[in-house]
Amino acid sequence: MTGQITLRDLAAIDVEVLKGVGEKRKAALADYGINNVLELLTNYPRKWVDRTNEARVSDLVAGQEALVIVEVRKVSKFTTKNRKTIVNVQVGDDSGRLAAVFFNQPWREKQLKVGSQVAMFGKPDLFRGVLQMSNPLVDLIGDRTGRIVPIYPQSEKAQVSTWELATWVENALERCRERGISDPVSAELLSRYELVDRTTALWSIHFPETMVAKQDARRRLAFDELLRVQVVLVGRKRAFELDNTGIRHKVGGKLQQRFISALPFAITSAQQRVINEIDHDLAAPHPMHRLLQGDVGSGKTVVAVSAMLAAVQGGHQGALMAPTEVLAEQHFAGVRNLLEGLLVPDENNLFGDRQLRVELLTSRVTSERRRELLRDLANGGVDILIGTHALIQDGVKFSSLGVAVIDEQHRFGVEQRAALRNKGTDTTSMTATSPDVLIMTATPIPRTAAMTVYGDLDVSVLDEMPPGRTPIKTFWVAGKKSESEMWEEIRQTISHGQQAFVVCPLIEESDKLQVASAEDTFKTLSKTELKGLKLGLLHGRMPSNEKDEVMTKFRNRKLDVLVATTVIEVGVDVPNATCMVVLDADRFGIAQLHQLRGRVGRGAIASRCWLVTSDAEISSPRVDALVESTDGFYLAEVDLELRGEGTIMNTAQKGRSDLKLASLRRDRDLIELARAAATEIIGNDPTLKSHNEIRDEIDLLLTPDEEEFLFKN
């Protein structure tokens, strides 16, 4: 073989070619998850010990965690009367000695051979006048004398030591020297982004000369991981734009102007900015594919209506698809209210204007009314259609769907979104046109996650609240006394004509999870804290008509308190409800608590939210975050910190990122660089003809399923 070595070449080389890897070590490496040289080189150290900076035994202080590199001097094992094993180990360096004791880890006797060098991390305590660590973390580092020693993830099952891995990695890299390792990123791009070349990065991630060299190596290799993801996403976005012809809408016309000037409030500068971004897309020849994210109450509906009116003004139609009937009906009521009295400029009309027609389509629409509605929709008589997934059923035909708005997109599958998009495709003409798609979400997504998970969408953010909305005050409540005070405040508020929500995690009592259930809470509160008040109960297992009845009563102020499960999380809008109690709040996630809290504070009256937990001693970090802030974007970042990053490519395991080095939290700048680089690469070379090595690495390192998953999100 000639030429520089690619990642695919490395993946084709079995570990058995490495010095010291016979049948036994090959099997141990397979157990560890390494079968080829690429897997070995991308099994990065989990930490690095700077030997120039390590503590000596004489520096150890009782009660303070430390890492020391020591020699094993004596090992003994014994079993107690109740069959527990204890391994005692004497270790030391030239400055002193240290004892280590391991409980129920009998294998340590074989692992810690006298004379071997180990890195030991733990908290030493004084025991019989000698410093001793109990169950410290141990890494065998062999006789590596480098200044900075790599320590690899350990596996008890595989029994592969960190120094063996380092030896094999070094052997592999040495054997790549002659041909050199290929680098798919151009020297010009590396220089512009101040990134080291791939060979330097691989040597320095495993055997750094300095800690700065290690950081530079991590940065380059993390960039590679992010670049592969971004090239896939930007490539898909570009392909979508090239394969689909859009409608060049006339934006900023009379209809949009009339709508904005007729609003009973001034739009925020964030709304104006986002309307401009959307108008720019609508005027372009390819279809819009944009994610609009904004906190509860940030005014997404006004922005969505402006986009749909741009379609109507050019003789096309708008559609808004919501995940539930309750939400579709609320959108219908809200949009109709916003558009009341709005006239569409129409040259064919004797009076120069005509009435705008907004309709609702859900499974509740009767068959006769449905037939009439579908006939009018097909001949262009309906301007804006709002509904549930009923919009994408076979019998629904638009005359010319120009703009499709999808609300709370994470509740729709990719197939449903595509089906709505295809409703606008004019199959009779030679060139099919696709409607512009605007996806809305009230679940704020950290910017970096949005660029990575929703990388095939353009992202607009409403980060400003309309004036007149009073901020919500949030309190943590635990213990009988503070709960009594809370209920007293709620009774006071209701006596002034306001209303309250009480949210419970489960419908029925569960022995497994001793959490408040809606039905029991409803009964208990009716007899105790809220006796004499009008209470309603709402949960997901109730028939639709019962749910509607309860919601209508609550909206019309015939109920004082609504006891509910999380069915109220999305879309319930009752401006007179100013109090929210969430029971067992520590059982909810941050995003869900934030959504729930958004059900109050929707009017001009100051609102309050109480998060109740059972433990008066320990508050939950999630609850603390909500007490501290009402900013959904800040909370989304905290949520990412608390939950871990999860997998981007698939849903295999919560909290375990499949980016080995790159982090959505730490590497925001790198994500932006990778995005810019991918945009440039795809812009100049949409089919990656001149970048076949990047294309090959994507095929090698991302399975088709993983690539597909990136777009399903």
Over 418-455, what HEC string results? HHHHHCCCCCCCCCCECCEEEEEECCCCCHHHHHHHCC
pTM: predicted TM-score of the whole model, two decimal places? 0.68
Residue 569 has pLDDT above 90, yes or no: no
Residue bearing the bigger pLDDT, 713 or 148 = 148
Residue-wise pLDDT tens digits, 329-382: 888 988 998 999 898 888 777 677 888 999 999 888 888 999 999 999 999 999
Average pLDDT value for residue range 543-558: 86
Residue 134 has pLDDT above 80, yes or no: yes
Helices (H), 439-496: 447-453, 480-495
Contact 561, 499 (CB under 8 A): yes
Has domain 472-629 been given CATH number 3.20.20.80? Answer: no
> CATH code for 254-283+298-441?
3.40.50.300
Residue bearing the bigger pLDDT, 655 or 175 = 175
> CATH code for 54-144?
2.40.50.140
At residue 240 the predicted structure's pLDDT band, cuts being 50, 70 and 90, is confident
Q: Which of 53-67, 458-472, 500-514 has the highest mean pLDDT?
A: 53-67
**Residue 648, Cα to own-chain centre: how many angstroms?**
8
Selection from 494, 486, 487, 568 nearest residue 533 by Cα: 494
Which part of the chain has CATH 3.40.50.300? 254-283+298-441, 472-629
Please, is 609 exposed, middle or buried when counting C-beta atoms within 10 Å of its C-beta (0-12, 13-18, 19+)? buried
Please, is 683 exposed, middle or buried when counting C-beta atoms within 10 Å of its C-beta (0-12, 13-18, 19+)? exposed
SS3 154: coil
* The predicted structure's pLDDT at residue 655: 37
Helices (H), 58-186: 108-111, 162-176
Residue 656 has pLDDT above 60, yes or no: no
* The predicted structure's pLDDT at residue 670: 92
* Rounded-to-integer distance, Cα 683 and Cα 671, Å: 18
> What integer best gives the mean pLDDT of the chain?
84
* Rounded-to-integer distance, Cα 647 and Cα 652, Å: 7
* Residues paired with residue 500 on neighbouring β-strands, in sequence order: 561, 579
* Residue found under tokens 């008066």: 616
Average pLDDT value for residue range 182-188: 94
Least confident of 149-153, 208-212, 250-254, 664-668: 664-668
b/e map 108-141, b = 16+ CB within 10 Å: bbebbeeebbbbbbbebeeeeeebbbeebebbbb
Residue bearing the bigger pLDDT, 698 or 393 = 698
* The predicted structure's pLDDT at residue 67: 82
* Rounded-to-integer distance, Cα 319 and Cα 324, Å: 15
Please, is 590 exposed, middle or buried when counting C-beta atoms within 10 Å of its C-beta (0-12, 13-18, 19+)? buried
* The predicted structure's pLDDT at residue 513: 47
* The predicted structure's pLDDT at residue 182: 95
* The predicted structure's pLDDT at residue 514: 44
Q: Please work out, in degrees rounded to the nearest 5, the angle formed at the alpha carbon of residue 308 by the alpha carbons of 306 and 311.
A: 115
Tokens of 587: 């059982």
Average pLDDT value for residue range 113-136: 89
At residue 71 the predicted structure's pLDDT band, cuts being 50, 70 and 90, is very high
Residue-wise pLDDT tens digits, 418-469: 676 677 655 555 455 788 989 888 777 776 677 666 677 788 888 887 776 7
Residue-wise pLDDT tens digits, 147-156: 788 888 876 6
Q: Which of 134-148, 214-228, 436-450, 681-695 has the highest mean pLDDT?
A: 214-228
At residue 161 the predicted structure's pLDDT band, cuts being 50, 70 and 90, is confident
* The predicted structure's pLDDT at residue 657: 47
Average pLDDT value for residue range 496-511: 77
* Rounded-to-integer distance, Cα 397 and Cα 381, Å: 12
Residue 712 has pLDDT above 50, yes or no: no
Please, is 655 exposed, middle or buried when counting C-beta atoms within 10 Å of its C-beta (0-12, 13-18, 19+)? exposed
Which part of the chain has CATH 2.40.50.140? 54-144
Residue 207 has pLDDT above 80, yes or no: yes
Selection from 176, 188, 206, 404 nearest residue 287 by Cα: 404
Would you put residue 508 in left (φ > 0), alpha (ψ -120 to 50) or beta? beta
* The predicted structure's pLDDT at residue 694: 92
Residue 641 has pLDDT above 80, yes or no: no
Residue bearing the bigger pLDDT, 494 or 566 = 494
Least confident of 124-138, 266-280, 539-553, 560-574: 560-574
* The predicted structure's pLDDT at residue 347: 72
* Rounded-to-integer distance, Cα 574 and Cα 564, Å: 14
* Residues paired with residue 91 on neighbouring β-strands, in sequence order: 72, 98
Contact 345, 254 (CB under 8 A): yes
Average pLDDT value for residue range 399-414: 76
Would you put residue 370 in left (φ > 0), alpha (ψ -120 to 50) or beta? alpha
Residue 566 has pLDDT above 70, yes or no: yes
Residue-wise pLDDT tens digits, 73-82: 999 999 998 8
Contacts of 628 (CB under 8 A, 6+ apart): none
Widest distance between CA atoms in the chain: 103
* Rounded-to-integer distance, Cα 393 and Cα 396, Å: 6
Q: What is the DSSP letter of 702?
A: S
Average pLDDT value for residue range 41-66: 84
Helix H or strand E segment including 310: helix 300-313
Residue bearing the bigger pLDDT, 636 or 338 = 338
